[in-house]
Amino acid sequence: MPDIDLFTPVQIGPHTLNNRLVMAPLTRNRASREGVPGPLQVEYYRQRATAGLILSEATCISPEAVGYPFTPGIWNGLQVAGWAEVTAAVHDAGGKIFCQLWHVGRVSHPDLQPEGRLPVAPSAIAPAGEAITYEGMKPFVTPRALDGEELPGIVNAYRIAARNALSAGFDGVEVHAANGYLLDEFLRDGSNLRADAYGGAVDNRARLLLEVLDAVCGAWGASRVGVRLSPVQPFNDMRDSDPLATFTRVVERLNAYDLAYLHVTEMGRDAPGAAGPFFDPLDLRRVWNGVYMTNAGYDKARANAALAEGKADLVAFGVPFIANPDLPERYRRDAPLNPPDPATFYGGGEKGYTDYPFLG
């Protein structure tokens, strides 16, 4: 077997990636209040087009999916037009970009919902913590449990968003089923107490994700669709009684789709037990039959080791790509990295967004 490192090309579906550095999906809260990406986003993504693949910031599939200020959407024409400018800039710079499709579920707030309605979830369980609104931090509310008859509408919102992403010129889409958002809320039994066909056994809890995948793959073809999972991530007050069994079964079901890749975040490894009995998310690599992407605090050395040992096929980098638009070239040359400025991670303008220096 030949040596594999970050600069070994790799195939995902119809796409050949020049390298295995993926820009992780990074919420930066700089779209317009109407969810439209603008010139600032065009420049930000263009600068980072040397990544083997860019995953867009999480992008809301509908007005009801919104859970944070100044996050982009992809449910209307203005948003599609804004994203089309982004994808054209990335392609002109030789890059590839997938759109991450997002519904936040219970971690929204009435202040962010149409007509001030309650956010929705599999079950009426309020997460611990606070929502970020335009007026500041406010305690999470108890969400409204979705009726079974409403779930086809959720699936259809994903279908429409997937079609819109195609119209906007993306190279594929990633279904966000991680980090305590709606699809993850259905997957884990700490947030899903339903007694219908979408609750109880793992196959039932995975039903909505699989229905969403059927819809999204219908628009794109499975070879241009990825899925993100976070089996040990406690963020947004998430837990499961048996995450190893839950996510092993979920991955077994996903194998039937022949997806572009499976993206599993290792986030939560620093707090074993917080999200349920701990297991190593990399163990899911042995269950998955396709291209496997990992992420969580990797640097060049750890990433190359994971690739060489066959633990992953792609590695997603977050903060390093925030601070280093030319991260692949810096890693190629073993050049020093720009220090990140956490104060500018969320919200604001070009400072800490498009003004990080390139090499030379």
**Which residues carry out catalysis?**
181
- The whole-angstrom separation of Cα 206 and Cα 184 is 9
Terminal-to-terminal C-alpha distance of the chain? 36
Q: Which residue has the tokens 């620093």?
A: 270
- The whole-angstrom separation of Cα 266 and Cα 312 is 12
Going by C-alpha positions, the residue among 265, 235, 269, 293 that lies closest to residue 104 is: 235
Distance of CA 119 to the CA centre of its chain: 20
Q: CB–CB of 216/223 below 8 Å? A: no
Please give the DSSP secondary-structure letter assigned to residue 295: E
Query: How many other C-beta atoms lie within 10 A of the C-beta of residue 285?
Result: 18
Going by C-alpha positions, the residue among 132, 23, 125 that lies closest to residue 69 is: 132
> How deeply is 221 buried, as exposed, middle or buried, from its count of CB atoms within 10 A (0-12, 13-18, 19+)?
middle
Going by C-alpha positions, the residue among 350, 330, 346, 347 that lies closest to residue 338 is: 330
Residues ≥6 apart with Cβ < 8 Å to 30:
40, 41, 44, 70, 347, 348, 349, 353
Tell me the two tokens of residue 269. 């490894």
Q: CB–CB of 55/22 below 8 Å? A: yes
> 3-class secondary structure for 158-219?
HHHHHHHHHHCCCCEEEEECCCCCHHHHHHCCCCCCCCCCCCCCHHHHCHHHHHHHHHHHHH
